[in-house]
Amino acid sequence: MLDVNHIRKDFPILSRTIYGKPLVYLDNAATSQKPTSVIQSLVDYYESYNSNIHRGVHTLSMEATDRHEDARSKCTRFIGAKEDKSLIMVRNTTEAINLVAQTWGKHNISAGDEILTTHMEHHSNLVPWQKLAEQNGASLQFIELDEDGMLNLSNIDDLITERTKLLALTHMSNVLGTINPVKELTAVAHKMGAKVLIDGAQSVPHMKVDVTDLDCDFFAFSGHKMLAPTGIGVLYVKPEILESMEPFLFGGDMVSQVWDDTATWNDLPWKFEAGTPNIADLIGLGAAIDYLESLGMDQVREHEMALTGYALEQFDRLNDIKVFGPKDLSKRGGVISFHSDDVHPHDMGTMLDREGIAIRTGHHCAMPLTRKLSVVATARASFYIYNTEEEVDKLTAAIRATLDYFAK
């Protein structure tokens, strides 16, 4: 198991107080905190070798280029991809999915085709497909959920047909914590000739992921949820698919040759990385990967399963609180969304903030799912490597006090 007390010393923000109370940060599904090593990687870049990359011949440019591409290689290794050229650097998961929709999707999904997704998707893995279907005359189909917040796959053979061109689904739900059987679903989709896009924003920070083993065609994730800075994300695409895709943005470093009336494109992956990239934050992502690998992703997962199990036990002791998502810890990540009929989630979040406890409230960018759950919003606590059972106790005690306050 992880030495959480030792890990906490690496995160300066965890020494902060809120309203005179020690910070209890339980909003990790929205963004994670950053260790000193990641923060220092940014300082080192700007203090020591700040320069634009790839085409410079001076020392600073070559150092920055080497660090930038080394960080790309770390990402490749971390998700089990085979080649660096399969990874496109973007701002976040949202941009990655939009890139796929407006490049591959625009040219491969036509009138009469179907895009299959689920009712647990983040808006970022739903709205781009809504717009693409509208533009190209395709239709959206949905895999329903069962009462435990798992995908109902009893009719999957009827849902994935010869009309299905893309299966787009989350690896782990940011609301329910549900871990979907993406490898099995990818195999079913491929048998019908469909491509598969996996939203890995919630899975990559918390468990070992191997895109080669999953055999997915597209895989997207963000750095800021896995200890890295904001503004950096990764899109993995199988090389043979990437070769056939047209660029999304034009100009800058994505060109090879330019004439008055035409241009040719750079090699992969730079063909899809127009303009000056987010150099510093990719280097920061590389430092975050170093940190996570030093812990071991299996240990990260074990810690969160144990903490989530403990938290669910404590929530069971709370009256008038409904918890959403699977009960089986092997099929659930470290996310607990909950609701009280007596206290609005925003009031809950405000009261907990006065105790120094940071949670997320609202629809969590998953409004169709919120409607399926028959609530206007939920409160959500989400865990990471630096969270403890003591913090869970503070959370449940504060929830109980809030319920008592509004019952008066």
Q: What is the pLDDT of residues 132-184, one digit of tens each?
A: 999 999 999 999 999 999 999 999 999 999 999 999 999 999 999 999 999 99
Q: Is residue 250 located within the same domain as residue 102?
A: yes
For residue 248, the model assigns a pLDDT of 87
pLDDT band at 354 (very low <50, low <70, confident <90, very high): very high
Full residue range of the structural domain in which residue 113 is found: 39-293
For residue 59, the model assigns a pLDDT of 98
Cα(245)–Cα(243) distance, integer angstroms: 6
Q: 261 or 408, which is more confident?
A: 261
Q: Is residue 365 located within the same domain as residue 253?
A: no
Q: Is residue 134 located within the same domain as residue 268?
A: yes
CATH of the domain at 16: 3.90.1150.10
Q: Is residue 175 located within the same domain as residue 92?
A: yes
Among 241, 276, 293, identify where a domain stops. 293
CATH of the domain at 147: 3.40.640.10
For residue 395, the model assigns a pLDDT of 98
- The residues with which 145 forms a beta bridge, in sequence order, are 151
Q: Strands, DSSP E only, in 200-289?
A: 218-222, 233-237, 255-258, 263-265
Collapsing DSSP states into helix, strand and coil, what is residue 20?
A: coil
pLDDT band at 43 (very low <50, low <70, confident <90, very high): very high
CA angle 125, 229, 124 (to 5 degrees): 10
pLDDT band at 333 (very low <50, low <70, confident <90, very high): very high
For residue 5, the model assigns a pLDDT of 97
For residue 382, the model assigns a pLDDT of 98
Q: Is residue 319 located within the same domain as residue 277?
A: no
For residue 31, the model assigns a pLDDT of 98
Task: Tell me the pLDDT tens digit for each residue of 234-261.
Answer: 999 999 999 999 998 999 989 999 999 9
Q: Is residue 281 located within the same domain as residue 138?
A: yes
Q: Is residue 239 located within the same domain as residue 264?
A: yes
365 carries an active-site annotation: yes
Looking at the structure of the chain, the number of domains it has is 2
Q: Is residue 236 located within the same domain as residue 366?
A: no
Q: Is residue 224 located within the same domain as residue 239?
A: yes
Q: Is residue 283 located within the same domain as residue 395?
A: no
Cα→Cα distances 35→29, 32, 84, 207, Å: 17, 10, 26, 19
DSSP codes joined into one string, 170-217: ESB-TTT-BB--HHHHHHHHHHTT-EEEEE-TTTTTTS---HHHHT-S
Task: Tell me the pLDDT tens digit for each residue of 276-285.
Answer: 999 999 999 9
Select which of 365, 373, 392, 403 is catalytic: 365
For residue 137, the model assigns a pLDDT of 98
The pTM (predicted TM-score) of the whole model is: 0.97
Percent of the chain with pLDDT over 90: 98
Collapsing DSSP states into helix, strand and coil, what is residue 22?
A: strand
Cα(30)–Cα(364) distance, integer angstroms: 9
Among 293, 310, 341, identify where a domain stops. 293
pLDDT band at 1 (very low <50, low <70, confident <90, very high): confident
Task: Tell me the pLDDT tens digit for each residue of 128-138.
Answer: 999 999 999 99
Task: Tell me the pLDDT tens digit for each residue of 279-321.
Answer: 999 999 999 999 999 999 999 999 999 999 999 999 999 989 9
Cα→Cα distances 141→30, 49, 129, 404, Å: 27, 49, 11, 43
Cα(74)–Cα(294) distance, integer angstroms: 13
pLDDT, average across residues 377-404: 98
pLDDT, average across residues 56-73: 97
pLDDT band at 269 (very low <50, low <70, confident <90, very high): very high
pLDDT band at 408 (very low <50, low <70, confident <90, very high): confident
Q: Is residue 139 located within the same domain as residue 238?
A: yes
pLDDT, average across residues 60-89: 98
Mean pLDDT (the chain, rounded): 97
For residue 175, the model assigns a pLDDT of 98
For residue 55, the model assigns a pLDDT of 85
Among 258, 293, 328, identify where a domain stops. 293
Q: Is residue 188 located within the same domain as residue 301?
A: no
